[in-house]
Amino acid sequence: MTLLGSALHRSDSAAKVDGSARYTEDFQPDGLLHCAVVRSPLASARILGVDTARAADVPGVVRILTAADLPDRRWGTVIRDQPVLARDVVRFAGEPIALIAAESKAAANQAAELVELRLDPLPASVTMADALREDAWPVHEGQPNRREAARVRRGDVDACMLDAPFVVTTRIESHRVHQGYIEPRATLAEPDGAGGIAVTTASQAPFVVRQGLAALLDLPMSKISVRVPALGGGFGGKLHLGLAPLAAVTCLATGRPVRVVCSRAEDMRAGNPRENSIVELTSAVDRSGRILARRAVVYLDSGAYAFDTPMIASIAALMGTGPYRVDAIDLTAVPVATNTCPTGSFRGPSGPQMVYAVETHMNEIAAAAGLSPTEIRRRNLLRSGDRGPSGELLPDVTMGECLELAARRLEEWRRDEPAAGRGRRRGYGLACAWWLTSGAPAGATVTMNEDGTATVTTGGTEIGTGAVVVGVAALVADTLGLPLERVTVRSGSTDVGPYDSGSKGSRTLFGVGNAALMAAEAVAGQLRDEAAEQLEAAPEDLVLADGRVSVRGLPQASVAIADLVVGAINRTGPVVGTGRFRGAPIPLEGSILDGMRFDAFNEATFHCHAAEIELDPETGRIEVLRYLAVHEIGTVLNPDGARGQVEGGVVQGLGYALSEVLDVGADGTVRNADLVDYRLPTIADIPRQIETVFVAGHPGPSGPRGAKGIGEAPVIIPAAAIGAALRDILGDQPRALPFDPIRVAAFLDGVDETRQP
């Protein structure tokens, strides 16, 4: 194990730096048609007609499609409820109504502007408050806007509430935010010359796209190939079919290659942003500060179509306790349909708002019980051997270790605090969280080539984290005793490698890594068998290292792996292994689960962040000075990659906390569909210092070489850490996100008023 855990070279970086890496939009097949999408300007309307005559006259326009040209089939991740093109009614501003395929981008865009939509405005349920009213406008006719809830129960919550010395209630409203990947969504669909279609798409889950397209187009899966070239970020925003249905139907209608690319504005109006939400928490607490019972009711704005919000609701319910032991629980999360853009997964789905709500609630419990924020956490933390909310046994809980590390650092910062100048005030806060590592299925093959190099194939996608191109490669190289540069991973295509469930759930290295490890071990066995023959030794006495197989203790008795591969091809057959993985079912005990589509943290990870902030009370501006991120993620295989996930995740989490809001107006339209008014953090907005600490010594039992997931956790905690630091300054913290200067200034006014005599 010299390779794993060391600084690992990332083989795809050079091509990304010099511009030669190819992303979806970089492919330009002959005869390419450009597709523009005509979208609804209204949030809720009946479609009286779509007049395409003038658009069709634009030179270069090849084909125009509306719902009338397509069979009435729906798509969706959990519930199939979304048409490819709006049929009869539109349910959100930005919903596709017509497609224009033209010889040039300019012609397609010009024609799109000439399509006349005759829309009859209908009432709309734009906010969750609108949607949950008794007489609310139903987003889907005949169906309640309040969707099937996910619920976890255990013990007698009501009895605890009645008897408890304290009952504390916290209500948090969180905002809608966009993934903000820099590569807009794009899809290219081409006839494959054999009666099927070949799709090139910016996707985190090519097999999900293939399955969805097969159902929508009524084609066998074997007639559809989906490949993901270099992918310019996703963060959950590219987990769904996205533009693939639009490109595919146009390709089938024209018989030509068709590319659909979202403009930034389209992407922000009609992507699948993180849901805004309302989180209500009530806890019964005893005099020592122990939480006896917790009730959580979470409303998640699902938007006009379900996407994966039913799944996210399950995660939100599971997150209702935070990393604390609560024996009596009633945790409910409800997706709410509204006439807004459908929301969906965004890195750590439901995480930031749930962590913010739970941690704010903990701070309020601390205040009620007269304890410090650190002490209230100490007294309630999950411990090894406890069960999580769904009844999952947690054999190795490291939350306490993470908390103590962060708490110590916070005290050091507080002690060396220099005077904050110009009326500014310093604050120190921390927040705890746990997160999941999904055990979703993965497959991989490892093939040895005659020159001693190895090729790994997998349907897993390299979203940019390095989990596939570095992590999976390193696991295989380590197992086969090869230098890292002799292992190449080919990934992200339904045709190249076996099934994978997608880059999500902090599971790429965990799932694909496990599958690749199994394949590599099969290959190692075949190499040992061949070497045993050539070296006249027992296979179990052979070691694989430095590109050779040698007899343990007899390094001179060795043979190059390349020679073994050639030998095996001639003697027994090519050296190739396959691996498959699916996390084992988690036994659940003691809880009642309803509507839960996701019920276990699988390999749980534990995290604590600490922040030093400076508040300018005049402007409401918060500056983050120093930031510490403590994570226990099992064994760290690729330290640089893991740290990259943490630093990038922290800054994304700070964007969520401090500046980003996807602003949906009263009419249901997005009012800041650009990167000026939607404020992603820039290089000038980040803390001077982000320190990352990985807690060692806790390998994940089912992870590849002890690894657990790290992709999502860093993003879910910063808002809670900053909120705690604000409370440190003000004695209170906002109940609504984000903490942009305007909202913070308004909150400061409120704090001042309550302090007036």
Shortest reach from residue 229's CB to another protein, in Å: 11
Which residues, 6+ apart, have CB-to-CB distance to 298 below 8 Å? 277, 278, 279, 280, 313, 316, 317, 320, 331, 332, 333, 334, 350, 354
Spatial separation of the C-alpha atoms in residues 333 and 320, rounded to whole Å: 9
**Contact string (CB under 8 A) for another protein, positions 200-239, x = contact:** ------------------------------xxxx-x----
Give me the least distance between CB of 660 and another protein, in Å please. Answer: 11
Query: Could you say which of 330, 478, 647, 728 contacts another protein (CB under 8 A)?
Result: 647
396 or 685: CB nearest another protein: 685
Binding mask 4-23 for another protein (x = CB under 8 A): ------x-xxx-xxxxxxxx
Q: How many CB atoms lie within 10 A of CB 615?
A: 24
Q: How far is the CB of 233 from another protein (least distance, A)?
A: 4
Cβ–Cβ under 8 Å, residues 613 and 726 = yes
Report the C-alpha gap between 718 and 738 in whole angstroms.
Answer: 11
Question: Of 507, 422, 494, whose CA–CA distance to 711 is shortest?
Answer: 507
Select 5 or 155, whichever has its Cβ closest to another protein.
Answer: 5
**Interactions with another protein, residue window 582-641 (CB under 8 A):** 640-641
Site string for another protein, 235-274 (x = CB under 8 A): x---------------------------xx----------
Question: Please, what is the minimum distance in Å from the beta carbon of residue 36 to another protein?
Answer: 14
Q: Please give the backbone phi and psi of residue 498, each rounded to the nearest 5 degrees, phi first.
A: -70, 175
- Sign of CA pseudo-dihedral 559, 561, 563, 566: positive
Contact between 680 and another protein (CB under 8 A)? yes
- Tell the smallest beta-carbon distance from residue 609 to another protein (Å): 13
Question: Which is nearer to another protein, 557 or 686 (by Cβ)?
Answer: 686
Among the listed residues 676, 754, 756, 757, the single contact to another protein using CB under 8 A: 676
Among 464, 505, 577, 583, binds another protein (CB under 8 A): 464
Q: What is the DSSP string of 406-458?
A: HHHHHHHHHHTPPPPPTT-EEEEEEEEEEE-B----EEEEEEE-TTS-EEEEE
Contact 522, 579 (CB under 8 A): yes
- 280 sits near another protein (criterion: CB under 8 A): no
Nearer to another protein, 19 or 142 (CB): 19
- Residue 30 found at the interface with another protein (CB under 8 A): no
Find the binder of another protein among 674, 697, 742, 755 (CB under 8 A).
Answer: 674
Q: Which two three-digit tokens encode residue 603?
A: 């390999």
Q: Check binding of 68 to another protein (CB under 8 A).
A: no
DSSP result, 471-519: IIHHHHHHHHT--GGGEEEEESBTTTS--B--S-TT-IIIIIHHHHHHH
Closest to another protein by CB, 429 vs 714, is 714
Alpha-carbon distance of 391 to 359, in angstroms, equals 22
Compose the 104-123 pattern: x for residues touching another protein by CB under 8 A, - for all others.
Answer: -xx-----------------
163-192: contacts with another protein (CB under 8 A): 179-184
Contact between 28 and another protein by CB under 8 A: the answer reads yes
Structural tokens at position 143: 């169906």
**Of the candidates 662, 680, 669, 712, the residue with the CA atom closest to the CA atom of residue 181:** 680
Q: How long a stretch of residues is the chain? A: 757
**Cβ distance to another protein smaller for residue 182 or 194:** 182
Tokens 């820099």, residue? Answer: 182
**Is the distance from CB of 260 to CB of 65 less than 8 angstroms?**
no
Residue nearer to another protein on the CB measure, 19 or 757: 19
Binding site for another protein (CB under 8 A): 10, 12-14, 16-23, 25-26, 28, 105-106, 179-184, 230-233, 235, 263-264, 463-466, 640-641, 643-644, 647-652, 674-676, 680-684, 686, 690
